[in-house]
């Protein structure tokens, strides 16, 4: 039995989906963004649960992610948001994935592959309005229309753009992006391209701009029970589907003055118990994306944190929960083992500990247990880090 696992409550995910749908403009639908393994929850089980709840469209970044969803029975539209390559097109077409167009040269090439396979393919035009990543600029639209006119196998299902700063307080950049989107799509119409669906909103824009919902909103963050930023908390009633847990596998009473872990940065201040849990930074514990200070307050926080650490005071020390109480991590988090200082509270070998694992950074090899109607409904155990097993039992 795994000593560390993640419980994913699929009812919570389904509830979040229904809550999002309740806040949609009447003509709009929710496309579930399940990229990066549904932000770590597990793309297949999350997409299946959402499909059972009525979700008709999904988005991923890569073709391979889309193929996995199809192989596991997802029937809805699956949009590949990222660029795709020629080797991937035949498989993507066979699986009826929707491809994103963001490269002029790809249009003719995709059309040729379609002709060879006697297939049509649904495509979405990505417009670059300020993210600076992928998409067509205004100056390319005429060439785009020209190429599309000759590419008869391509069905233009959608047109979209992606916001860079929708979660930030200052909304002016987002408004500029939206104005560009409007002028680009007007130009496309003028050029005779009439995409069926328009979609621009991610989680933050969905909450802030109901008038921009159009045909679809593309939602990831809210579905997994998070808000896109501090200013958004409480705008919906969301449930958290995620609990990461580990078990105490070693427990010792130690005297005051015991050093713990690499570099001995932690020293017990009194008699206490040290417990070991089988989880570490290789599993994602204590790992966070690179943090860029937004202004002087953030910058000062970083300075103060690092200054305090020089004196052995760790302000950002991770905390875990044992028997309902908050307990500190003692010393540095190891690769696969972490020590916690549990004090003299009663506890025993095998006790469960709730751990703070960032969803998108949790190792996919960690065992997932999927709950529905209050019981474990399916599990996922990764073998060799790649092949997934999804035993489903009732
Ligand atoms: C990830 C992503 C989304 C979802 O964004 P959230 O803020 O997580 O809802 C939407 N659109 C694109 C293009 C994305 O890459």
Q: What is the CATH number of the domain that holds 318?
A: 2.40.37.10
Q: What is the mean pLDDT of residues 277-306?
A: 90
Q: Are 248 and 231 part of one and the same domain?
A: no
**Same-domain pairing of 172 and 301:** no
CA atoms within 13 A on the CB side of 89: 23
Which pLDDT does position 241 carry in this prediction? 98
Ligand 1 midpoint to CA 248 (Å): 37
Name the burial class of residue 244, with classes exposed (0-12), middle (13-18) and buried (19+) by CB atoms within 10 angstroms of its CB: buried
DSSP annotation string for 123-159: EEEEB-SSS-SSSB-GGGHHHHHHHHHH-TTEEEEEE
The CA 81 to ligand 1 mean position distance, Å, reads 9
CB of 81 within 6 A of ligand 1: the answer is: yes
Split at pLDDT 50, 70, 90, the class of 393 is very low
Same-domain status, 57 and 192: yes
In a domain, 14, yes or no: no
| pLDDT tier at 312, thresholds 50, 70, 90 | confident
Phi-psi region of 136 (alpha: psi -120 to 50; beta: other; left: phi over 0): beta
Q: 252 and 165, same structural domain? A: no
Domain contains 281? yes
Three-class SS state of 310: helix
Are residue 252 and residue 339 in the same domain, yes or no?
yes
**Of the residues 235, 270, 287, the one at which a domain ends:** 235
The residue out of 212, 235, 258 marking a domain boundary is 235
For residues 151 and 220, membership in a common domain is answered with: yes
Clarify whether residues 132 and 161 are in a common domain. yes
Q: What global pTM score does this model have?
A: 0.94
Number of helices and strands in the chain (H, E): 10, 21
pLDDT digits (tens, 9 = 90+) for 49-67: 999 999 999 999 999 999 9
Q: Does residue 66 have its Cβ closer than 6 Å to ligand 1?
A: no
Contacts of 124 (CB under 8 A, 6+ apart): 79, 98, 99, 100, 101, 156, 157, 158, 159, 160, 195, 197
In a domain, 393, yes or no: no
Residues 212 and 345 in one domain: no
The CB of 33 under 6 Å from ligand 1? The reply is: yes
Establish if 90 belongs to a structural domain: yes
Give DSSP secondary structure letters for 336-367. Answer: S-EEEEEETS---TT-EEEE-B-GGGS-TTSE
Question: 191 and 84, same structural domain?
Answer: yes
Cα-atom radius of gyration of the chain, to the nearest Å?
24
- Look up 160 and say whether it is catalytic: no
Would you put residue 314 in left (φ > 0), alpha (ψ -120 to 50) or beta? beta
Is 245 catalytic? The answer is: no
CA 74 – CA 360 distance, rounded (Å)? 22
pLDDT of 115-133, one tens digit each? 999 999 999 999 999 999 9
Same domain membership, residue 231 and residue 203: yes
Residue 252, SS3 per DSSP: strand
> Same domain for 61 and 210?
yes
Here the CATH number for the domain that contains residue 142 is 3.20.20.10
How many domains is the chain partitioned into structurally? 2
Q: Is the pLDDT of residue 295 over 90?
A: no
Does the pLDDT at position 388 exceed 80?
no
Does residue 2 sit within a domain?
no
Residue numbers of the domain that contains 72:
24-235
* Residue 133 marked as a ligand binder: yes
Is the beta carbon of 228 within 6 A of some atom in ligand 1? yes
- Decide if 11 is inside a domain: no
Ligand 1 atom nearest to 206, measured from its CA: 9
At residue 65, the pLDDT reads 97
**Among 235, 254, 280, where does a domain finish?**
235
């Amino acid at each position: 039995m795994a000593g560390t696992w993640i419980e994913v409550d699929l009812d919570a995910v389904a509830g979040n989906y229904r809550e999002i749908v309740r806040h949609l403009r009447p003509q709009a639908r929710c496309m579930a963004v399940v990229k990066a393994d549904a932000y770590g929850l597990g793309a297949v089980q999350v997409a299946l649960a959402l499909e059972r709840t009525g979700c008709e469209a999904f988005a991923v970044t890569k073709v391979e992610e889309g193929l996995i969803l199809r192989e596991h029975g997802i029937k809805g539209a699956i949009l590949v948001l990222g660029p795709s390559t020629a080797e991937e097109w035949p498989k993507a077409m066979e699986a009826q994935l929707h491809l994103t167009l963001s490269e002029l040269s790809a249009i003719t090439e995709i059309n040729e592959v379609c002709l060879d396979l006697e297939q049509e393919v649904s495509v979405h035009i990505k417009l670059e309005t300020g993210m600076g990543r992928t998409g067509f600029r205004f100056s390319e639209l005429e060439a785009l229309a020209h190429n599309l006119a000759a590419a008869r196998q391509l069905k233009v299902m959608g047109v979209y753009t992606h916001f860079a700063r929708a979660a930030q307080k200052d909304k002016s950049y987002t408004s500029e992006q939206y104005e560009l989107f409007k002028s680009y799509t007007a130009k496309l119409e003028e050029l005779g391209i009439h995409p069926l669906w328009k979609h621009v909103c991610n989680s933050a824009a969905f909450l802030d701009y109901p008038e921009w919902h159009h045909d679809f909103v593309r939602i990831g963050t809210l579905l997994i029970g998070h808000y896109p930023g501090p200013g958004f908390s409480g705008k919906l009633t969301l449930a958290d589907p995620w609990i990461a847990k580990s078990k105490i596998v070693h427990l010792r009473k130690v005297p005051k003055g015991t050093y713990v872990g690499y570099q001995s940065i932690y020293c017990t201040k009194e008699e206490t118990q040290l417990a070991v849990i089988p989880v570490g930074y290789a599993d994602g514990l204590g790992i966070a994306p690179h943090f860029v200070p937004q202004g002087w307050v953030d910058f000062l926080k970083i300075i103060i944190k690092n200054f305090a650490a020089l004196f052995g005071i760790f302000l950002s020390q991770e905390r875990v929960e044992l028997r309902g109480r908050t307990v500190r991590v003692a010393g540095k988090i190891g690769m696969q083992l972490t020590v916690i200082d549990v004090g003299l509270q009663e506890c025993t070998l095998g006790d469960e500990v709730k751990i703070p694992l960032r969803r998108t950074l949790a190792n996919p090899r960690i065992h997932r247990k999927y709950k529905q109607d209050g019981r474990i409904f399916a599990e996922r155990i990764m073998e060799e880090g790649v092949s997934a097993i999804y035993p489903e039992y009732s």
